[in-house]
């Protein structure tokens, strides 16, 4: 799949593409990332891409014309791509007013041809360009960032780790939070006893039992408890989708939610 990123700051992406475990996806072009510096499509000596908003107000707005040229070049490049990337890939705009990015969106994109990622800056983007070209608007949450680069990086990372062979263990992402609609429970590593100022701390005995069925059930219950306390909306969604067993419901009945 191919992701084309239209951005004022391509240098923010380059370290991410060569470090960490997800670099495997980029190095093998399982997730083929192309960076398109927006100023390359601006006019004049100053390569200006923004101007004051009509009607007054603070800040600057990214102009439609450089974006139109950038997107036209992206689509032409996708058409001529030897790998056969689709020119009709969705255009994604990152904005606080968009749908919240979640694992369902990530899975859908990870199974598709990729997308064009539009990273806004300043007060926003000329609405005429958004109305003409944007298919999906996404947000990381109910807060405001300085631009769309961080959400784009988050999306690329989430998509990359779902590709075959990227993670060391193929089951890793299957046990992540949200993979089954619930939050992931706690993990423990060596040593068995951790010396602290308050005294030695051990790991839960069940994890030393070697009984795979009991361990699996314990992990399920930890996931259920954490989700019920922190994200009760996910429990409600799991019930509505009939993803909770009778044993799950029996356990949840005894969970103190605070």
Q: Which of 37, 90, 96, 113 is catalytic?
A: 96
Query: What is the DSSP secondary structure assignment for residue 170, as one 8-state letter?
Result: T
Residues 6+ apart with CB under 8 A from 97: 137, 139
Q: Which of 75, 78, 161, 225 is catalytic?
A: 161
Q: How far apart are CA 37 and CA 70, in angstroms?
A: 8
Q: How far apart are CA 60 and CA 206, in angstroms?
A: 58
Residues 6+ apart with CB under 8 A from 16: 22, 153, 156, 157
Q: Which of 81, 176, 180, 184 is catalytic?
A: 176
- 233 in active site: no
Contact 10, 39 (CB under 8 A): no
- 96 in active site: yes
Backbone angles phi, psi at 63, to 5 degrees: -80, 150
Tell me the three state secondary structure of residue 106.
helix
Q: How far apart are CA 13 and CA 153, in angstroms?
A: 7
Give me the active site residues, please.
96, 123, 161, 176
């Amino acid at each position: 799949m191919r992701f084309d990123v239209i951005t004022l700051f391509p240098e923010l992406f380059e370290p991410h593409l060569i470090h960490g475990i997800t670099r495997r996806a980029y190095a093998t072009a399982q997730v083929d990332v192309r960076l398109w510096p927006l100023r390359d499509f601006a006019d004049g000596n100053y390569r200006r891409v923004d101007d004051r908003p009509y009607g007054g107000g603070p800040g600057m707005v990214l102009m439609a014309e450089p974006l139109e040229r950038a997107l036209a070049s992206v689509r032409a490049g996708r058409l001529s791509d030897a790998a056969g990337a689709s020119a009709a890939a969705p255009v994604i705009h990152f904005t606080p007013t968009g749908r919240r990015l979640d694992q369902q969106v990530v899975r859908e994109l990870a199974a598709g041809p990729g997308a064009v990622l539009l990273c806004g800056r300043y007060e926003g983007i000329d609405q005429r360009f958004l109305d003409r070209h944007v298919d999906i608007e996404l947000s990381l949450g109910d807060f405001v960032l300085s631009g769309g680069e961080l959400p784009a990086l988050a999306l690329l990372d989430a998509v990359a780790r779902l590709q075959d062979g990227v993670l060391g263990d193929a089951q890793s992402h299957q046990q992540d939070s949200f993979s089954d609609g619930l939050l992931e429970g706690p993990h423990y590593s060596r040593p068995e006893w951790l010396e602290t100022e308050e005294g030695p701390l051990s790991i839960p005995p069940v994890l030393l039992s070697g009984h795979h069925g009991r361990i699996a059930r314990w992990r399920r219950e930890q996931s259920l408890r954490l989700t019920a306390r922190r994200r009760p909306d996910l429990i409600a969604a799991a019930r509505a989708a009939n993803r909770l067993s009778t044993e799950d419901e029996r356990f949840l009945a005894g969970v103190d939610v605070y």
